[in-house]
Amino acid sequence: MPPNFQTLFEWLKKMFFAALLGVVLAIFGAVMGATGFFGTLLIILGVACILPLFVFSYVLTILHWKHRYIGRHSTLWGVLLLVETSGWFKLIYIFRHIIPDMKSSGRYLKAAH
């Protein structure tokens, strides 16, 4: 049974806002100085807010490719997503496939109806 992608997309949005908070915390921690207790604590809290977004988006990218991919290069995307380690192709896939699917636009317009 395929996952409910609308729910997963909502989770992705929530994690994005938590990651923004994490970026702000990490910046304040860096400004306060990483050698002090509060600066270090803010940096750790910031990373703890950012990390779930990275893990979830990685898993969501692979789930989306497996269940909802619409296009002509499924095998190519599969190889790039699974083998490539830096994350650039996952980021490209998010912008070319996941975001249009979230907005029900482009090639995912028909799939939403």
Q: Is the dihedral of CA 6, 103, 101, 50 positive or negative?
A: negative
Which of 9-18, 66-75, 76-85 is modeled with the greatest confidence? 9-18
Kindly report whether the global pTM for this prediction surpasses the value 0.85.
Answer: no
Closest to 65 measured CA to CA, from 12, 3, 7, 19: 3
Asked if the model's pLDDT at residue 27 lies above 70, the reply is yes
Lowest mean pLDDT among 24-33, 36-45, 53-62: 53-62
Count of domains for the chain: 1
Q: Residue 94 belongs to what domain range?
A: 5-112
pLDDT at position 69 over 90 = no
CB 33 within 8 A of CB 39: yes
Contacts of 26 (CB under 8 A, 6+ apart): 42, 43, 46, 47, 50
